[in-house]
Amino acid sequence: GAVVSQHPSRVICKSGTSVKIECRSLDFQATTMFWYRQFPKQSLMLMATSNEGSKATYEQGVEKDKFLINHASLTLSTLTVTSAHPEDSSFYICSARDFQGREKLFFGSGTQLSVL
């Protein structure tokens, strides 16, 4: 089956630093990738949708200058949390939709970000 690799799985950083999270589709081409944020015992909140080669579409209330998304190739999307603060601590999950546009999504294993 389709595999999405997300890295790192866990990161601890100091307040004010930037953190980059990578999301790779390993055995398929992902024209669209989604970035979600999840708080403990809560649902996934869609942050943004990225299409290869174009600017990401951010959901209402998500700061695009704080959460930089790049989808430069059909197999890689990155989320950079800039100038991270403790309130940015959360579980971030990426997902991908394949080139054939199948309706189910393939998820990465998530990144737990802790900002001190």
Partner 1 sequence: SQQGEEDPQALSIQEGENATMNCSYKTSINNLQWYRQNSGRGLVHLILIRSNEREKHSGRLRVTLDTSKKSSSLLITASRAADTASYFCATATRGSSNYKLTFGKGTLLTVNP
Which residue in 44, 68, 74, 76 binds partner 1 (CB under 8 A)?
44
Chosen residue from 84, 106, 113, 115 binding partner 1 by CB under 8 A: 106
Residue type, 85: H
The nearer residue to partner 1, 39 or 72, going by C-beta atoms, is 39
Q: What are phi and psi of 99, to 5 degrees?
A: -60, -30
Among 14-22, 29-37, 70-78, 82-90, the segment contacting partner 1 (CB under 8 A)? 29-37
Work out the burial of residue 5: count CB atoms within 10 Å of its CB; fewer than 13 is exposed, 13-18 middle, 19 or more buried.
middle
Residue among 88, 114, 116, 103 at smallest CA distance from 8 = 114
Phi, psi of 70 (to 5 degrees): -130, 135
Binding of residue 11 to partner 1 (CB under 8 A): no
Under rule CB under 8 A, residue 109 binds partner 1? yes
Stretch that binds partner 1, among 14-22, 70-78, 80-88, 93-101 (CB under 8 A): 93-101
Residue 58 CA to residue 116 CA, distance in Å, equals: 26
100 DSSP assignment = T
Binding site for partner 1 (CB under 8 A): 4, 6, 32, 34, 36, 41-46, 49, 57, 91, 93, 95, 97, 101, 103-110, 112
